[in-house]
Amino acid sequence: MIKRKALLSALLLGCMLFLAACGKEVTVPGGNDPNLDNEMSGNVSGIDVSSIALNNTTMNLNFGESHLLVSTVRPYNATAPKVHYTVDNPSVCEIMPSGNNCKVTAVGVGQAVVTATCQGHTATCQFTVTDTVVAVESIEIRGNAEDGITAGTTRQFEAVIMPANATDQTIQWFSSNPRIASVDQNGVITGLVAGGTTVLTAATEDGKIYDQVNLTIVQKPFIPGEDKITRIDLNIYIITMRVEESFRVVATPIPSSATEQGVTFTSTTPEILSVDSNGVVTALAVGKGRICVRSEDGDKSIVRYCDVTVIRA
Q: Give the residue with greater pLDDT, 146 vs 157.
A: 157
At 222 the pLDDT is 59
Cβ-defined contacts of 229-232 (< 8 Å, 24+): 229/253, 229/254, 229/255, 229/258, 229/260, 229/261, 229/295, 229/297, 229/298, 229/302, 230/254, 230/255, 230/258, 230/302, 231/302, 231/304, 232/263, 232/293, 232/295, 232/302, 232/303, 232/304
Q: Which band of pLDDT confidence, cut at 50, 70 and 90, is reported for residue 147?
A: confident
In whole angstroms, what separates CA 309 from the centre of its chain?
Answer: 64
At 12 the pLDDT is 62
Residue 70 pLDDT exceeds 70: yes
Q: Measuring CA to CA, which residue among 276, 256, 257 is closest to residue 266?
A: 276
Largest CA distance in the chain: 164
At 33 the pLDDT is 45
At 256 the pLDDT is 79
At 97 the pLDDT is 95
For 133-148, b/e burial (b = at least 16 CB within 10 A) is eeebeebebebebeeb
- Give residues with Cβ within 8 angstroms of 42, minimum separation 6: 5
> How would you classify the pairing of strands 273-275 and 154-156?
unpaired
Summarize pLDDT for 222-249 with one digit per residue, the tens: 565 556 788 899 999 999 999 999 999 9
Cβ-defined contacts of 94-103 (< 8 Å, 24+): 100/71, 100/73, 101/68, 101/69, 101/70, 101/71, 102/68, 102/69, 102/71, 103/66, 103/67, 103/68, 103/69
Summarize pLDDT for 92-135 with one digit per residue, the tens: 999 999 989 999 999 998 999 999 999 999 999 999 998 877 88
At 88 the pLDDT is 96
At 36 the pLDDT is 42
- Reported pTM: 0.40
